[in-house]
C-alpha cells in the first residue's frame, strides 16, 4: 500500500532548503569559537522542556502513555521520524520507537515480525500521528509496525513511505525467533500495522538512518558502529526495494590519500558487497578489507540539491574526529564523480557534542539533534551555518535527547521528539529570517 507522491514537489522542497547552504559560495571551515547565534540567545522555558530563541514556540502534540486511536498507548523511546503530506490538508508523522525486548510496547497490535518467549510482540516498531496541517490538532494516532527491535532512525522515500531501521543485530535463538538488523517500509498513509517485510537485500547491520536519491532511486544508509560504513543500495527496480538489488560501501578513490582535513574534498568509489544478509554481522569488516572507509558511529543523514542543482547529502559521525565529539560529512553525487568532504568537525563540547539525527531548515541551515549521556549532560539542537559555524538553536531541559527532527512539507513547522519520556513537539517560528 502506497500513497500518491508528487516527485517534483519532493525535489523542490529539498532543493530550496539545501540551496541556502551554498548561496554564499562558502566551503565549511570549522571554528574554535561559536557563531553569532543567528536567531539570538535562548530563552528559558517556564515549562522546563525546551529553551528556544525569541519568536519561536512549541506545542506538545503527543506524549508517553497517551491513549491512541487503536486503543494502545504511546510507547517510550521516540527516535527517528518522518513527516508527509496526506490528502485533505493532513500531515502524517511516522515515528520510530527504539525499544529493546522486555520494554513496554504500549499494547502492540497487529501482525508482528517477531515475538518474545512469552508470545508478546517485540516492542519496537513505529507509530503514526495524523494531524490537521493548518491547526496541528491530532486527528489519529496508531501503531503501524509491530515486532521489531530498537527502531532507531530511518528516512522518507520519494514514493511516500518511511524506511525504519533496526539498530540491533540479535540472531534467531533463545531470545528471538528471527534475525534482526533490517530495514522495513511503512507507507505514510497506513492506518494499521503493515505486513512486516524485512528488506534483506539492503543488508543486515547495526543500522541507523537512510535516505533515497530521487534521481537514481539509490538508498544511502549509515551504520552506528565505531567502525561503521556508509552503504549504498542500488535497487533492481527503483522505488521497489523488496525486488532486491546490489549493496555497496563507500571507499576513497585514492587509498593512499590519508585522512581528510576540514573543507577538503576527495573522490570516492563504491565497493560491491556480497552476502548482504550477513549472518556473522561482518559487512563492515568485509568492506574494510576491500578498502571501504570507516566512520565513527554514522547516524543521521539528509539529502537535497545545492544551488547548482547538484545532488548532495550530509551525514553525521557521532563520535568522529580528533576530539571524538562528532563530525558532519558531505557527499556530492555525480559531479562528475562522487566526492566526499569533511564539512564540520567539533573541537569543543560547546560547539557540538555527539550529533545524531539531522535535518535542513527552510533557511538553509543544518539542524542536528545532540545525543550525549555523560554526567550532567545537557543536549541541544545545534545549528550549522553555510560557513560551517555552529550555534545553539534549542536546549533540552530534561535529561534526554532530542531526536527525529523533520520539517512539514511547507517548511513552516519543525517536529522533534524528546526521546524519553516520549514527547513529540511542533516548533514554529521565523525559520527563514536570519
pLDDT value, residue 26: 34
pLDDT value, residue 35: 53
Burial of 380 (0-12, 13-18, 19+ CB in 10 A): buried
pLDDT value, residue 22: 39
pLDDT value, residue 36: 59
CA-based nearest residue to 145, from 101, 180, 114: 114
Question: What is the pTM assigned to this prediction?
Answer: 0.92
Please answer whether residues 223 and 231 qualify as being in contact, where contact means their C-beta atoms are separated by less than 8 angstroms: yes
pLDDT value, residue 33: 46
Q: Nearest 5 degrees, angle CA 369-CA 313-CA 257?
A: 105
pLDDT value, residue 433: 67
| Cα gap 21→38, rounded to integer Å | 14
List per-residue pLDDT tens for the chain, 434 residues long. 333 333 334 344 444 445 444 333 333 333 444 555 889 999 999 999 999 999 999 999 999 999 999 999 999 999 999 999 999 999 999 999 999 999 999 999 999 999 999 999 999 999 999 999 999 999 999 999 999 999 999 999 999 999 999 999 999 998 999 999 999 999 999 999 999 999 999 999 999 999 999 999 999 999 999 999 999 999 999 999 999 999 999 999 998 777 788 888 999 999 999 999 999 999 999 999 999 999 999 999 999 887 777 899 999 999 999 999 999 999 999 877 899 999 999 999 988 899 999 999 998 899 999 998 777 789 999 999 888 899 999 999 999 999 999 999 999 999 999 999 999 999 999 998 65
pLDDT value, residue 279: 96
Q: Which residue has the cell 514554529?
A: 428
The residues, ordered by sequence, that sit 6+ positions from 258 with a Cβ below 8 Å of its Cβ are: none
Please answer whether residues 81 and 415 qualify as being in contact, where contact means their C-beta atoms are separated by less than 8 angstroms: yes
Question: Got the DSSP string for 105-135?
Answer: -SS--S--S-B-TTSPBPS-EEEEEEEETTT
Amino acid at each position: 500500500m502506497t500513497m500518491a507522491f508528487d516527485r517534483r514537489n519532493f525535489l523542490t522542497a529539498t532543493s530550496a532548503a539545501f540551496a541556502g547552504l551554498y548561496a554564499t559560495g562558502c566551503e565549511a571551515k570549522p571554528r574554535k569559537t561559536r557563531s553569532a547565534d543567528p536567531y539570538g540567545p535562548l530563552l528559558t522555558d517556564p515549562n522546563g522542556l525546551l529553551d528556544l530563541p525569541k519568536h519561536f514556540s512549541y506545542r506538545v502534540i503527543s506524549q508517553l502513555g497517551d491513549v491512541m486511536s487503536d486503543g494502545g498507548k504511546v510507547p517510550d523511546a521516540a527516535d527517528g521520524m518522518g513527516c508527509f503530506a496526506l490528502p485533505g490538508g493532513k500531515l502524517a508523522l511516522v515515528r520510530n520507537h527504539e525499544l529493546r525486548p522486555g520494554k513496554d510496547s504500549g499494547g502492540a497490535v497487529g501482525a508482528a515480525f517477531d515475538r518474545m518467549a512469552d508470545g508478546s510482540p517485540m516492542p519496537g516498531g513505529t507509530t503514526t500521528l495524523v494531524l490537521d496541517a493548518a491547526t496541528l490538532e491530532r486527528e489519529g494516532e496508531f501503531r503501524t509496525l509491530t515486532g521489531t527491535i530498537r527502531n532507531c532512525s530511518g528516512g522518507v522515500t520519494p514514493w511516500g513511505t518511511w524506511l525504519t531501521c533496526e539498530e540491533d543485530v540479535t540472531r534467531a535463538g533463545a531470545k528471538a525467533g528471527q534475525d534482526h538488523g533490517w530495514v522495513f517500509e511503512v507507507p505514510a498513509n497506513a492506518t494499521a500495522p503493515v505486513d512486516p517485510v524485512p528488506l534483506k537485500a539492503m543488508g543486515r547491520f547495526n543500522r541507523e538512518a537512510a535516505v533515497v536519491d530521487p534521481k537514481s532511486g539509490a538508498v544511502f544508509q549509515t551504520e552506528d558502529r565505531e567502525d561503521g560504513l556508509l552503504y549504498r543500495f542500488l535497487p533492481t527496480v527503483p522505488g521497489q526495494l523488496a525486488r532486491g538489488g546490489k549493496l555497496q560501501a563507500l571507499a576513497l578513490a585514492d587509498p593512499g590519500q590519508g585522512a581528510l582535513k576540514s573543507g577538503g574534498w576527495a573522490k570516492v568509489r563504491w565497493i560491491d558487497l556480497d552476502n548482504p544478509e550477513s549472518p556473522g554481522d561482518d559487512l563492515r569488516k568485509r568492506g574494510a578489507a576491500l578498502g571501504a572507509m570507516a566512520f565513527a558511529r554514522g547516524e543521521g543523514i539528509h539529502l537535497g540539491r545545492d544551488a547548482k542543482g547538484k545532488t548532495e547529502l550530509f551525514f553525521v559521525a557521532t563520535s568522529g574526529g580528533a576530539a571524538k565529539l562528532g563530525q558532519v560529512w558531505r557527499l556530492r553525487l555525480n559531479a562528475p564523480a562522487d566526492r566526499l568532504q569533511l564539512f564540520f568537525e567539533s573541537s569543543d563540547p560547546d560547539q557540538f557534542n555527539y550529533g545524531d539525527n539531522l535535518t535542513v531548515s527552510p533557511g538553509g541551515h543544518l539542524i542536528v539533534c545532540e545525543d550525549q549521556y555523560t554526567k550532567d549532560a545537557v543536549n541541544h539542537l545545534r545549528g550549522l551555518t553555510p560557513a560551517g559555524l555552529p550555534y545553539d538553536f534549542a536546549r533540552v531541559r530534561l535529561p534526554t535527547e532530542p531526536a527525529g527532527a523533520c520539517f512539514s512539507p511547507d517548511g513552516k513547522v519543525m517536529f522533534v521528539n524528546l526521546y524519553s519520556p516520549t514527547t513529540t513537539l511542533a516548533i514554529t517560528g521565523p525559520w527563514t529570517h536570519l
